[in-house]
C-alpha cells in the first residue's frame, strides 16, 4: 500500500491534476484496474460518433438545447459550491461513504479521504494507492471496506493484474483501519467467489456483516465457477478484523442445471442480462429488509438473521429493464426504487431514440405484511432532459433526502448529471432540481459524469468519474427540512432510519 498525503487542494473548475513522476511510475507498476464486464461500471471507453451526429450535437449546443462542452448548468434551486479535481489517483472515481466530517471517495486506483467540515472548501486528508476496480467503499467505526473486482496477482496493494484463469489470482474484500484518517492501515483481506463488484454492510455492535455482490462466472475461472446464484456473507469482528472470514454463501436463485435459477436472459429474454449473482444490495437494518438488484431480477429479502438472508419476492421486467443495477428503499419501507443500467454505464441512453422507460428507475410498492410482502410495479422515472449521443447517461447511484412524509431522492446519471426527484406519488414521479455538465467531447463518446450523488448533512456530494469531487447546495422549501437531520455515518447501501 502506498499512502499519498497531500493536504493541498487545487481549485480548478476543469481538468485533472498533474501526477508526480514517482507516483506515475508506481501506478504503472501496479497495473491498470480493469473491471469485470457488467455490462456496468466499466473503464472509460472512447467511441467515435458519426459526422452527422456530431454536427447535430453542435447545432443543439448552439441553440442552447444541450449545454456546451464542459459547461455547467443547473436549476435555480441548486448552487455549485466547489469542485475538487482528481489529484494523485488518476483512475475512475467510484462510490462515496461518509463519517463525521469526512467523505471517503473510491477510485479504481485506491481511495481518497476528504475533510468536508467546510463544504465550500473540502481538503484532502490522505490518498491511498491500492489498485483494484471498482474499489466500492464503505465505513463503519474505525474500519473501511474496499471491494476488488479485477483479477490481481495477490491481495496486497502492490498487486498487478493477472488473468482470472490462474488459480493463484485474487479478488475480494480489503479491510483498513481508519482510526487515524491521515494514515489508514491495511489490516485484512478476504477472497470471495467471483470477487467483489459491490458490497453492503449490516453493522452490529461486535461484528460487521458484509454482503458481497459479484457475478459473471466462467468454467475457465477456478475461483468463479457457474452456477453463481448467491452472495458471499463475510463476518468481521470489530476488535479483531484480521479474523474476517466468509461465513455463508446463500443461494438466492436455486435452479436445475449448470446455470442455476434466476432470469435466463437472452435469447429467452432478448436484451436482458442473465442472472448470475447480484450487482448491488441495499439493506435497511431498522426494518430487517434488503433489496437486491441482481442483473435480470429485482429481489426483496428478509435479513432478520444477517448470516442467512431470506428471499421474500423476486420480480423481472423483460420489456424495459436490461440490467438491474441498484436499489433504494423509501423511509417507510413500503417502496423500492430499482435502477436499470442499460448499456452498462458506457452508452448514450438518455435520448429520444431510447425513450423514457429504458435506462430508467423502476418504482415498486411493497404490499402485504411479513414474509408475504410483494413488489408491485407502479411507474418509471427518467431525467426529462435529453443528452448528447456522445454522453454516457443512465440511472445510477443515489440516496434519499430525509423529509418526513415525502419520498425524495438525489441521484447520479453519469453525464446526465445529478437529479433531485420526488416519488411520493409512486405513479407520478417528478424532477425538482438538477445539475449537469455539458459533454466531455463533441465527436467521441467518452465515459464520465457523476458516479454517485448522495445527500449528507445538508449538502449533496457527487463523485464525478472524470472531473473529481463536487459539492452542491440545494435550497428548496420541499427539501429544506432535511437540513435538520444529522448523521454520524452514512453508507448509502446501508440505509439509516433517519428519524429514529
* Tens-place pLDDT, residues 281-338: 999 999 999 999 999 999 999 999 999 999 999 999 999 999 999 999 999 999 999 9
In the numeric block, which cell numbers belong to residue 336? Answer: 423500492
C-alpha 409: how far from chain center = 15
Residue 494 has what pLDDT?
A: 98
Report which DSSP code applies to 145.
E
Q: What is the pLDDT of residue 1?
A: 57
Whole-number pLDDT of residue 52? 77
Which distant-in-sequence residues (6+ apart) come within 8 Å of 360 by Cβ? 320, 339, 340, 380, 381, 382, 395
One DSSP character per residue, 216-276 reads ---TT-TTSPSP--B-EEEEEETT-GGG-EEEE--BSS--SSTT-SS---TTTSTT----S
| Residue 195 pLDDT exceeds 70 | yes
Mean pLDDT of the residues in the chain = 90
What's this model's pTM, rounded to 2 decimal places? 0.91
> Which segment of 98-112, 160-174, 249-263, 281-295 scores lowest on mean pLDDT?
249-263
| Cell output for 426 | 409512486
- Alpha-carbon 341 to chain mean position: 11
Quick: pLDDT tens for 359-378: 999 999 999 999 999 999 99
* Cα–Cα distance measured from residue 500 to residue 484, given in angstroms and rounded to the nearest whole number: 13
Q: What is the C-alpha separation between 453 and 456, in angstroms, rounded? A: 10
Q: Which one is predicted more confidently, 6 or 193?
A: 193
Neighbours of 308 (CB within 10 A): 12
* pLDDT value for 19: 29
Amino acid at each position: 500500500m502506498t499512502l499519498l498525503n497531500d493536504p493541498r487542494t487545487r481549485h480548478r473548475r476543469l481538468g485533472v491534476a498533474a501526477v508526480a513522476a514517482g507516483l506515475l511510475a508506481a501506478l504503472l507498476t501496479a497495473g491498470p484496474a480493469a473491471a469485470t464486464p457488467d455490462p456496468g461500471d466499466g473503464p472509460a471507453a472512447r467511441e467515435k460518433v458519426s459526422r452527422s451526429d456530431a454536427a447535430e450535437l453542435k447545432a443543439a449546443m448552439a441553440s442552447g438545447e444541450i449545454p456546451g462542452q464542459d459547461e455547467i448548468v443547473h436549476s435555480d434551486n441548486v448552487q455549485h459550491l466547489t469542485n475538487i479535481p482528481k489529484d494523485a489517483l488518476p483512475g475512475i472515481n467510484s462510490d462515496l461513504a461518509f463519517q463525521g466530517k469526512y467523505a471517503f471517495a473510491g477510485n479504481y486506483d485506491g481511495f481518497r479521504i476528504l475533510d468536508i467540515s467546510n463544504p465550500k472548501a473540502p481538503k484532502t486528508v490522505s490518498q491511498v494507492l491500492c489498485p483494484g476496480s471498482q474499489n466500492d467503499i464503505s465505513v463503519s467505526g474505525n474500519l473501511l471496506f474496499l471491494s476488488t473486482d479485477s483479477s490481481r496477482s495477490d491481495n496486497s496493494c502492490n498487486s498487478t493484474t493477472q488473468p482470472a484463469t490462474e488459480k493463484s489470482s485474487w479478488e475480494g474484500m480489503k479491510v483498513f483501519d481508519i482510526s487515524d484518517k491521515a494514515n489508514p492501515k491495511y489490516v485484512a483481506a478476504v477472497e470471495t467467489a467471483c470477487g467483489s463488484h459491490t458490497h453492503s454492510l449490516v453493522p452490529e455492535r461486535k461484528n460487521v456483516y458484509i454482503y458481497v455482490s459479484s457475478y459473471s462466472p466462467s468454467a475457465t475461472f477456478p475461483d468463479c465457477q457457474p452456477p453463481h446464484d448467491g452472495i458471499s456473507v463475510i463476518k468481521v469482528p470489530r476488535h479483531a478484523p484480521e479474523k474476517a472470514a466468509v461465513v455463508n454463501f446463500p443461494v438466492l436463485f436455486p435452479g436445475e442445471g449448470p446455470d442455476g435459477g434466476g432470469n435466463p436472459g437472452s435469447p429467452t429474454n432478448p436484451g436482458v442480462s442473465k442472472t448470475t449473482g447480484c450487482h448491488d444490495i441495499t439493506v435497511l437494518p431498522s426494518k430487517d429488509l434488503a433489496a437486491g438488484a441482481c442483473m435480470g431480477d429485482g429481489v426483496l429479502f428478509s435479513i432478520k438473521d444477517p448470516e442467512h438472508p431470506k428471499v421474500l419476492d423476486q420480480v423481472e421486467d423483460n420489456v424495459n429493464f436490461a440490467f438491474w443495477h441498484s436499489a433504494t428503499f423509501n423511509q417507510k419501507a413500503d417502496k423500492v426504487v430499482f435502477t436499470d443500467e442499460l448499456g452498462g454505464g458506457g452508452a448514450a441512453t438518455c435520448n429520444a431514440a431510447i425513450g423514457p422507460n429504458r435506462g430508467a428507475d423502476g418504482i415498486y410498492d411493497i404490499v402485504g405484511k411479513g414474509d408475504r410482502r410483494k413488489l408491485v410495479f407502479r411507474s418509471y422515472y427518467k431525467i426529462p432532459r435529453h443528452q448528447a449521443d456522445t454522453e454516457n447517461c443512465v440511472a445510477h447511484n443515489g440516496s434519499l433526502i430525509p423529509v418526513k412524509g415525502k419520498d425524495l431522492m438525489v441521484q447520479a446519471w453519469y453525464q446526465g448529471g445529478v437529479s433531485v426527484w420526488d416519488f411520493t406519488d409512486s405513479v407520478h414521479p417528478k424532477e425538482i432540481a438538477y445539475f449537469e455538465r455539458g459533454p466531455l467531447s463533441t465527436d467521441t463518446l467518452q465515459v464520465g459524469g457523476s458516479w454517485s450523488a448522495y445527500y449528507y448533512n445538508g449538502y449533496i456530494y457527487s463523485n464525478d468519474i472524470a472531473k473529481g469531487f463536487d459539492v452542491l447546495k440545494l435550497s428548496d422549501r420541499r427539501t429544506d427540512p432535511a437540513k435538520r437531520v444529522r448523521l454520524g455515518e452514512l453508507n448509502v447501501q446501508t440505509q439509516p432510519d433517519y428519524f429514529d
